[in-house]
Amino acid sequence: MAVNSAKLIEILNLIANDIHANKDFLTELDSAIGDADHGINMSKGFKAVTEKIAAMTDKDCGSILKTVGMTLVSTVGGASGPLYGTAFMRAGQAVGTKKELGFDDLLLILDAALEGIKMRGKAEKGEKTIVDALEPAVEVLKSSPVNLKLLEEAVKAAKDGVEYTKGIIAKKGRASYLGERSIGHQDPGATSCYIMLAAVHRALSEKSS
């Protein structure tokens, strides 16, 4: 896998398309346990991202990821903006000035993103958040040298993490006010995280085929 700046922008555009395609679904999930705006906010944020990064094909990968992060912080309302914004900014710091990324960098990116989200949201696994999808994926990627097959397993782990959020009580954000009534609902943040990871896997699979 060799992802240059142009390919990274392609992948980010694919993420934006998938978030937009799932806008209503994410908002519906959020209406059950949150502010009913997760899909709307994320779609708006990634629309702004695609506009910002369109002309960055000559920039290094770290700069592109940091720009994504700063754009999400400034355009996405609610808790998601600071959380995903921090995730992408940390990812950008992790890869630095590289003009090309490999599978090892993917682990670097996702691990840095996870640590950023945990730090910013003060969240741990089992609290019905993004972490419940992202941490299992990172754990899979740390288990062996990263390749496309392992990434597929990581995406499946993230999907299982989304399912897991249905059976637990929310401990963070507005959903936590519901206490036990939050059980039975899947977390919108974990869901959007899974959508992003699945988009990355799809983009890299298309490149390899």
CATH number for region 3-208? 1.25.40.340
**Spatial separation of the C-alpha atoms in residues 71 and 89, rounded to whole Å:** 10
Q: What is the pLDDT of residues 107-164, one digit of tens each?
A: 999 999 999 999 999 989 988 899 999 999 999 999 999 999 999 999 999 999 999 9
How does pLDDT run across 37-59, given as a tens digit for each residue?
999 999 999 999 999 999 999 99
Q: How confident is the model at residue 209 (pLDDT cuts 50, 70, 90)?
A: very low
Q: Which structure tokens are listed for 74?
A: 């400034």
Backbone CA torsion sign across 176, 177, 179, 181? negative
* 4-32 per-position pLDDT tens digit: 999 999 999 999 999 999 999 999 998 88
Residue 55 neighbours by CB under 8 Å, 6+ apart:
none
Q: Record the tokens describing residue 181, joined without a space.
A: 């009534």
4 DSSP β-pair partners: 100
Helix axes 61-75, 38-53, angle to 10 degrees: 140
C-alpha angle 125-79-63 in degrees, rounded to nearest 5: 90
pTM (2 decimals)? 0.94
Task: Assess contact for 26 and 191: CB atoms under 8 A.
Answer: yes
> Residue ranges of the domains in the chain?
3-208
The CA distance from 181 to 104, in Å, is 41
In three-state secondary structure terms, 126 is coil
